[in-house]
Amino acid sequence: MSTSTATSHATAIKGRGALSNRAGRFETTEREATDDGWSPAELTDHRTYWLEDNAKSVITRNRSPDISFDRSINPYRGCEHGCVYCFARPTHCYLGHSAGLDFERILYAKRDAASLLEGELAKPSYRAAPIALGVNTDAYQPLERELKITRQLLHVMVETRHPVYLITKSALIERDIDLLQDLASENLVSVAISITSQDTDLTRRLEPRAASPQRRFRTLRTLSNAGIPTRLSLSPLIPALNEPEIESLVQTAADCGASAAHYILLRLPRELREVFCEWLEAHYPLRSERVLKAIRSVRPQQHSDVLNDTRFGSRFTGEGPRAELIQQRFEAACRRAGIAQNGKLPTLNTAAFQPPQYGNQLDLFGRA
């Protein structure tokens, strides 16, 4: 693949974000799709299936100075929403899969996540601090409707009065309003709804199995009306693609009850670069070079073809005149809408935390 644009002639697959299934960086062999007239040139089984993730712990820690939380839980690996921009795609390569179609169709579920969490919270050394739920892959992706792992985790949060941050682009979160209201009554929860565009054609291509923008705004309003603190996550903000919608997205979110908003510029780490460039060339061939040029303009200027930045402090917001203008527009839009603008999450209550008693296990798996 060229460093400036994708050279693949792969075509879009209905219901999928990625166009191909390129080998990850840890695989010893690389397959190239070739139509020899005898067998399909590319993966033809696009059905989704899931496997057990037999994790021994469930809380992941981070020390990133530009992230407002130091611990998170991801009930699932891989995500059926198929968002082509998802920064978590390269993590699937650690499992021996592709960051492309494999990420969307081969899912891993931590079915014992709730009991693992209970065990970690019961440790005498544990000190409560907000846990971010579903920040790597969506905790409310379609598989959650069947397995209810996220709801089981929220039961633990309710029983132990533990603070939690959630982010999702799924309307399924409305199922758990009863638990979220309980947590909200003591300032134990904050929910971010991820909305990237109001253009249904764009979102259908970007996020093929996620809820429509209109449905997500409705979820934002429903949660807000239920007394649950909400915020807009305009992530990712893609220069020259959804960038023109900054003002309208912020205003609509505010009208739906969001109290704050933040954005993160598109990140293209490792294999994600190829996945996104291939998608861009297939869906927007006449605009692809313009979009890539705009992305480069907000990344380090030492090299002319940098599409990603891993440095703390600049990886989320970018640098250069275009990045500064985006930030100014976003801040002005938030001021006009009357909502807070910052990348830091709200302070939640940690004083109410009550460690679980292991001698009296919660009846997690018997609850709907």
Q: Give the domain extent around 270.
A: 49-338
Task: Categorize the per-residue pLDDT at 300 as very low, low, confident or very high, splitting at 50, 70 and 90.
Answer: confident
Q: What is the CATH number of the domain that holds 329?
A: 3.80.30.30
With a cut of 70, say whether residue 236 has pLDDT above it: yes
Evaluate whether residue 268 is within a structural domain: yes
Helix (H, G, I), strand (E, B) or coil at 61: strand
The partner residues of 233 in beta bridges, in order of sequence, read 194, 262
DSSP 10-23: ----TT-S-S--PP
Q: What angle do CA 284, 286, 287 make, to 5 degrees?
A: 65
pLDDT digits over 169-220, tens only?
A: 999 999 999 999 999 999 999 999 999 999 999 999 999 999 999 999 999 9
Residue 301: the pLDDT is 76
What token pair was written down for 146?
A: 């069947």
Residue 3, pLDDT above cutoff 50 = no
Would you say residue 351 lies in a domain? no
Compute the mean pLDDT over every residue in the chain, rounded to the nearest whole number.
90
Per DSSP, the three-state class of 346 is: coil
Confidence at residue 342, expressed as pLDDT on a 0 to 100 scale = 78
pLDDT digit string (tens) for 97-110? Answer: 999 999 999 999 99
* Domain annotation covers residue 122: yes
CA atoms within 13 A on the CB side of 259: 11
In this predicted structure, what is the pLDDT of residue 41? 46
The tokens describing 256, both together, are 């739906």
Hey, CA dihedral for 306, 307, 311, 313, is it positive or negative?
A: positive
Q: Is the model's pLDDT at 273 over the cut of 90?
A: yes
Residue 40 maps to a domain: no
> Residue 6 pLDDT more than 50?
no
Q: How many domains does the structure of the chain reveal? A: 1
Does residue 322 sit within a domain? yes
Reply yes or no on whether the pLDDT at 368 is more than 60.
no
pLDDT at residue 36 tops 70: no
What is the percentage of the chain residues whose pLDDT exceeds 90? 78
Structural domain includes residue 150:
yes
279-299 mean pLDDT: 96
Q: Is the model's pLDDT at 247 over the cut of 70?
A: yes
pLDDT digits (tens, 9 = 90+) for 37-63: 554 445 566 789 999 999 999 999 998
354 in any annotated domain = no
Query: pTM of the entire structure?
Result: 0.89
